[in-house]
A and B are shown apart, each in its own frame.
Chain A
Amino acid sequence: MDRSEVSERLTGVLVSELGLDADKIKDDAHFEEDLDVDSLGVVELLMALEDEFDVKIPDEEAESIVTVGQAVDLVHQKLS
């Protein structure tokens, strides 16, 4: 799966799971500062991504995810 497909599906999850506005979801968007997602919300998002892409995101890797782009990169890397 290429990165843009991961990005598209991830955006879909953000919209359906967290009710976010698709227009605001860009690679450099910061979950907490730009998208108003609280820390628990980021955890929930990563769980949803694990289910959506059938990957595992261990706690240590999850901690460093603060932007949309980082989440896309992590999932893309796990699928490669």
Chain B
Amino acid sequence: MNEGSESRVALVTGASRGIGRAMALTLAAIGHRVVVNYAANSEAAAEVVSTIEERGGVAISIKADVADESAVSAMFNTIGESFGPPLILVNNAGIAKDDLLVRMSVEAFDRVIDTNLRSVFLCTKAAMRGMLRARWGRIISVASVAGIVGNPGQANYAASKAGIIGFSKSVSKEVGSRGITANVVAPGFIETDMTGDLSEGVKTSARGSISLGRFGQPEDVAGVVGFLASEAASYITGQVISVDGGLAL
């Protein structure tokens, strides 16, 4: 742990793969005790925990559907008993179910809103008690540049991510007086399973719109999260920080 910093309990939702995994690894490397939440992929989550432990860090994994109120409640009880209440919350869990609006099913809309936005509400509310009691907290929610500028085929995904932005700003105003900050990171095109399936044509076209001419890596986003969780970021709240190589200017 750096001098002047404290080891906190950090919960990262959806941390078995991609950006969530990178954020869990980064926070553990900083010295925080990390809870790796996952929905289904227990093997991948176990790999994240063992990687953290191999590198000298502390982590546990907890399976929970973060769109489900009782699962979130049970998860927070388990964390409270294992480590104590999490004071760093990274709302990262998210899915995409892309389609043109005219073809989009209600189910595809609802499921994306529930997993991406409802989960942010449930987890942030559950974490708030511990943060208020400690008079310290870092709520970092992962949105997307799609939520800022829109993206064809992602009306549901973009809606959920834009919702996260409004939610985070409101929360930041409610609890700022208690030393709790709430911020959003908005990744652009990051090389993960979520973007891996895009066609070469789409990828080449996307690269053409990115100032830095490349897709980002999960670590590019994780670094910002590590900073936001630190004391050095204590005067930053209600913000949206895009990590997109200059895509959405």
Contact B175 A40 (CB under 8 A): yes
Any A CB within 8 A of the CB of B170? no
Contact B133 A40 (CB under 8 A): no
Contact B178 A40 (CB under 8 A): yes
Any A CB within 8 A of the CB of B241? no
Interface of A: prevailing SS: helix
Any A CB within 8 A of the CB of B132? yes
Any B CB within 8 A of the CB of A43? yes
Q: What chain B residues lie within 8 Å of A48 (beta carbons)?
A: 133
Q: What chain A residues lie within 8 Å of B177 (beta carbons)?
A: 38, 40
Hey, what's the 0/1 contact readout for B149-178 against A, CB within 8 Å counting as 1? 000000000000000000000000011011
Interface size class of chain A, counting residues whose CB lies under 8 Å from the partner chain: under 10
Interface of B: prevailing SS: helix
Hey, what's the 0/1 contact readout for A47-67 against B, CB within 8 Å counting as 1? 110000000000000000000
Chain B contacts with A in 123-140, Cβ cutoff 8 A? 129, 132-133
When C-beta atoms are compared, the residue in chain A nearest to B177 turns out to be A40
Chain A contacts with B in 21-80, Cβ cutoff 8 A? 38, 40, 43-44, 47-48
- Report the bound CA distance from A9 to B175 in whole Å: 27
- Report the bound CA distance from A40 to B173 in whole Å: 11
Q: What chain B residues lie within 8 Å of A47 (beta carbons)?
A: 129, 132-133
- Report the bound CA distance from A48 to B135 in whole Å: 13
Q: What chain B residues lie within 8 Å of A40 (beta carbons)?
A: 132, 174-175, 177-178
The interface of chain A, by Cβ under 8 A from chain B, is 38, 40, 43-44, 47-48
14 A–B pairs (Cβ distance < 8 Å), ordered by A: A38-B177, A40-B132, A40-B174, A40-B175, A40-B177, A40-B178, A43-B132, A44-B132, A44-B133, A44-B178, A47-B129, A47-B132, A47-B133, A48-B133
Instruction: Given A40-B132, A40-B175, A40-B177, output 11 extra A-B contacts at Cβ < 8 Å.
Output: A38-B177, A40-B174, A40-B178, A43-B132, A44-B132, A44-B133, A44-B178, A47-B129, A47-B132, A47-B133, A48-B133
